[in-house]
Amino acid sequence: MKKAKALAAVLAVALMFSACSKTKTPKTSVRAQKTNTTNETSYEDPEETEESEESRKEPNLIGNPDLENPVEGYFYISKDIDGPWVKSLDAFYGLLNWTEYYPMVSGSELTVELGVNNEAAHGSNLKLYIFEYNEDYEWNTDDAYAKFTGDFCRTVNGDIFWCQTTLPTNMPTGIYTCVVVHPDGTVDCMYDFDLVATTEEARGGEAVAKPVIYLYPEESTEVSVSIDFDGKIDCTYPKYDPEEGWRVIADPDGHLYNIGDGRDYDYLFWDGTTFRDIDSFNNAICVRGCDTAEFLEGYLEAAGLNSSEIDDFISFWLPMMEQNEYNLISFPTEEYEEMTKLNVSPAPDTVIRVYMVFAGVDEMVEVPSDKQLVYPEAISRDGFTVVEWGGSQVEYNG
């Protein structure tokens, strides 16, 4: 889950820069990174400061990328020029607190190394801009997150244009484009890349898949439901209002009428991504893939789910589980309740929440006796009852 790697030889970067002899392979291909800010080598066009606010809204850089013929598979030359100055993108990476992350993180120190031809090397310096990606490849230089230039170096490996800047710390997660521009404003080439706002996003997250919420009041009742989730909600159905949550008319048989869109539903659905570690497998069991359905039937019944809810659960998860040789399964419900607070008004009399974490494994995992799965105690579904189930598929690292 954690993809960040510390760079033990960061000091070597500075030494190599002075010698202009270091190159690195770009970390990603088409549409995967973005950057921004200025340093002592930053460049600002004098004419830009004289433009009116209205004129700045119009694009003054037009990229015309040859999308069908990416150079080395990850950056594009403009169709508008004959003989591009940039021959190769030799390095494109960012460091944040001496650590390299992929995707790059907002606030990183960005290094770009370009292989260039003699025309570029002996002419005025190239200019580099970082923009938020747009499919038209049209930008106004005033909207750049970063504007910077670099230094020409002649090395045994060829002519190198070496550039460095520090990106702003307020860049949102998204796709960005590095644009290389000639002194006259002609776009030479472009490189799309991903950037995330936080190191947590760069490390990646775990999917919290298909939590669904059932409501069973004793009589037809208007109910409000909201979620406080330690993570990012990715999808909801019906549509979830971040301010008000869901507002429904719930019937005793579980039928829901959603006030927001006037449609009927069997349950409320959401899923998301959390950056918590959720794969400790305390209180776990390892079962054969072919025995998974039988195991789930017994466990879910003990947890208090009815036959319809059990069918929904198993029909969703079984296709991911029964083909594995074995499944290591845990139900960290208390951890889930800390991660995801469920707010229901009026307050229910009975709440049943089931959250499963599993990993497919090739051989039986021996679970220590003090970590073996303990079945839940029987729950009586009295009064207004709320039921929720969901889960996550993770990798098991032993």
| Interatomic CA distance for residues 62 and 185, integer angstroms | 9
Identity at 99, one-letter amino acid code:
T
CA neighbours closer than 13 Å in the CB half-sphere of residue 284 = 21
Residue 2 CB contacts under 8 Å (≥ 6 apart), including other chains = 203, 204
Where helices occur in the chain by DSSP H, the ranges are: 10-19, 46-50, 118-122, 199-203, 292-303, 307-321, 333-339
| Interatomic CA distance for residues 91 and 30, integer angstroms | 14
Contact 394, 358 (CB under 8 A): yes
Q: What is the distance of C-alpha 346 from the center of its chain?
A: 35
Q: What is the mean pLDDT of residues 127-135?
A: 95
pLDDT in tens, 52-92: 444 446 899 999 999 988 887 789 999 988 889 999 998 99
DSSP 173: S
Q: Exposed, middle or buried by CB within 10 Å (0-12, 13-18, 19+), for 78?
A: buried
Place of tokens 């970063």: 146
pLDDT in tens, 239-277: 999 889 999 999 999 999 999 999 999 999 999 988 777
Domains and CATH numbers, the chain: 5-201 (2.60.40.1930), 205-393 (no CATH)
β-strands 150-155, 109-116 pairing: unpaired
Confidence of residue 18 (pLDDT cuts 50, 70, 90): very low
| Interatomic CA distance for residues 275 and 265, integer angstroms | 30
Contact 83, 97 (CB under 8 A): no
Give this prediction's pTM: 0.56
Q: Which residues of 2-38 are buried (b: 16+ CB within 10 A; e: fewer)?
A: eebeeeeeeeebeebbeebebbeebbbeeebbbbbbb
Mean pLDDT of the chain: 84
Handedness of CA 215, 217, 223, 228 (dihedral sign): negative
Residue 22 has pLDDT above 60, yes or no: no
User: Residue 76: which of 110, 30, 33 has the closest Cα?
Assistant: 30
β-strands 350-361, 385-393 pairing: parallel
Q: How many CB atoms lie within 10 A of CB 292?
A: 22
pLDDT in tens, 314-371: 999 999 999 999 999 999 988 999 999 999 999 999 999 999 999 999 999 999 999 9
pLDDT in tens, 172-220: 999 999 999 999 899 999 999 999 998 877 766 788 999 999 999 999 9
Q: What is the mean pLDDT of residues 95-106?
A: 88
Q: Highest mean pLDDT: which of 4-18, 96-110, 169-183?
A: 169-183
Residue 338 CB contacts under 8 Å (≥ 6 apart), including other chains = 230
Q: pLDDT exceeding 70 applies to what percent of the chain?
A: 84
